[in-house]
Amino acid sequence: MLELILQIALAGLAQGALYALVALGLVVISNTSNVLNFAQGAMGMAVTYVAWALLTYAGAPFWLAVGAACIAAFAIGALAQIVLLARLRGASDMTQIVLTLGLAMLIEGLVGLGFGYNPRPMALPMSMGPLLVGPVVLRPQDIVNLSFLVVLSLALAVLFTRTSIGLTMRSITQNAFAARLMGVPVERVLSLAWGFGVLLGGAAAVLAAPTTSVTPDMMNTILIYGFAGAIMGGFGSLVGACVGGLLLGVINNFVVAFVSPQLSMTFIFALLLVVLYVRPDGLFGRKSVRKV
């Protein structure tokens, strides 16, 4: 029984790594631009077709295709900020939310029109077999998911604490008006933040593709869990986004295994309500004070 519990928990951590990557991307964008990017999943899905096309038609190596997809994700995020969000700077939160929702539907529609809605397989080319860690079996997909989360989380930590770009992003998060007065190119930095945020979502989409297949709606459920993980962890906290996503992955796996797959999302959101009732700012969130 203990072996089964450990196996379910480990598989949940691997799935939760995808939710954590989406949550991290959402938090990076929200912290810098105060926008909830509901197009995060659609943008990630779109760049997965870039990887799939390179693998299918160009015969590119898998890791080259992944790198190209990540570059495309960064470009899409930066372009969305420059072309769309910058034009609405100062608009109401609802206006910006509706814009990202409309952008998500537009991207899904265009991808469906161009590639169709049939599932397209994209295998993970791993020559290694499952890895035994005591009584627990680590699948190649689990190793890749968790490795990506660790590497990208560490890269974010270095970016925000050791680089001038990251420190500039943090200054905008704290006070964009003061940063602008000090000569910080706010719009340029925001475009970088959007690029990094969508890159994280794109990485999650590419990692999800071998198990979900590539379809225009492949990221819809993962985006919902990513939002839930970010909210549970505390939307302003990168650590909270990681912990929230991983925690949701583990809990979801246990609900699927011992309760019912149909009730997994219901159970997750019931738990989210309980957490927010006890800690309205999330597990790692800090109470914010707005001056009026």
Delimit the domains of the chain by residue range: 9-278
pLDDT number for residue 215: 93
pLDDT number for residue 128: 59
pLDDT number for residue 185: 77
pLDDT number for residue 160: 85
pLDDT number for residue 290: 47
Dist CA 60 CA 22 (whole Å): 26
pLDDT number for residue 29: 92
Dist CA 101 CA 25 (whole Å): 16
Dist CA 109 CA 4 (whole Å): 41
Q: Kindly report the CATH number that applies to the domain delimited by 9-278.
A: 1.10.3470
pLDDT number for residue 291: 43
Supply the pTM of this predicted model.
0.91
Dist CA 200 CA 154 (whole Å): 13
> Which residues of the chain fall below pLDDT 70?
125-129, 174-177, 181, 286-292
Residues contacting 234, CB < 8 A, separation 6+: 240, 244, 281, 282, 283, 284, 285, 286
